[in-house]
Amino acid sequence: MPSPLAALASPIDGLLDRVRDAFESPWAGTVAVATLVVVTIGTAFGIVALGGVFDATVDQRITVDNPDRPPESTCETFGDDADSLIAERCDEPEQIDVDAGAELRDAATGYLHYGLIGVPVWWALFALALHGGARVAGGSGSVGDSFVIAGWALVGELFRVIAGVAAIWVVLSNAAITGSTFEALADGLVAAITSATGPLLVASAVAIAVQWVIVVGGLEAEHDLNRGAAAGVATFFAAAGFLLAAV
């Protein structure tokens, strides 16, 4: 009678075989580039969506410094000059009430460039690290082959972004966020989002599992590694990725 481990290993081997065969397709490089583009755009949309989540779930007004009013030192120096535009602006109130959700949305959108730049940077760094690992394990593929594998593996990051935004939307929709200042509001947001650590960690584990399968199949096809060596390299990076996600 086959052991449960053997019964589990059989479908995994079959999946790895299919992934390895897919990497041997002449379209493997095109798929990697297409995945990079899709994940980069998807991550950017994820940042915009996160801002939308803040705007939709945080229904609170807070007091902030008025950005239209010059610093107090400037007003003390030029505020009495009736012909100065600064004097007019010094008549503005020092603080104003704003919609916290809209402010958080604008703040999140301000990080849009990190998504557009961050995904290609992650791709390059992971490809180079993966190439080093493959070389240590005796792989024979080129750096370009490692970039192809890393490009395919990006699909796991898109899943992580979608799951992360969804989890944050759920917890904020059921949290009572209060506070009259950004500092107080931030404490409430951090506490609410921290409660989603479990689901976010599960999402990371699923994403890393998908990447593990892709990397093993890719290393077999692109670097001519046997399955054991490919699995060893992939497991090293998977463990490192899970530890970073858990921090």
CB 159 within 8 A of CB 206: yes
**Residue 1: its pLDDT value, please?**
43
What is the distance between the alpha carbons of residues 91 and 87, in angstroms, rounded to a whole number? Answer: 7
SS3 content of the chain, % helix, strand, coil (to 5): 75, 5, 20
Residue 135: its pLDDT value, please? 95
* pTM attached to this predicted model: 0.83
Contact 229, 138 (CB under 8 A): yes
pLDDT of residue 199: 87
Helices 143-153, 155-173: crossing angle, 10 deg rounding: 30
Report the 10 Å Cβ neighbour count for 238.
Answer: 19
Evaluated on CA atoms 41, 44, 46, 51, the torsion sign reads: negative
Q: Are 231 and 216 in contact (CB under 8 A)?
A: yes
Query: Which amino acid is it at 131?
Result: H
| Cα–Cα distance measured from residue 128 to residue 147, given in angstroms and rounded to the nearest whole number | 8
Look at residues 139, 161, 160 and name the one whose alpha carbon lies nearest to residue 234: 139
pLDDT on residue 32: 95
Per-residue pLDDT of the chain in tens (247 residues, 90 and over written 9): 444 544 556 688 889 999 999 999 999 999 999 999 999 999 999 999 999 999 998 888 888 888 878 887 777 777 666 666 777 777 788 888 888 888 889 888 888 888 899 999 999 999 999 999 999 999 999 999 999 999 999 999 999 999 999 999 999 888 877 777 777 788 888 888 888 888 889 999 999 999 999 999 999 999 999 999 999 999 999 999 999 888 7
Question: Which pLDDT value is given to residue 5?
Answer: 44
Q: How far apart are the first and last CA of the chain?
A: 42
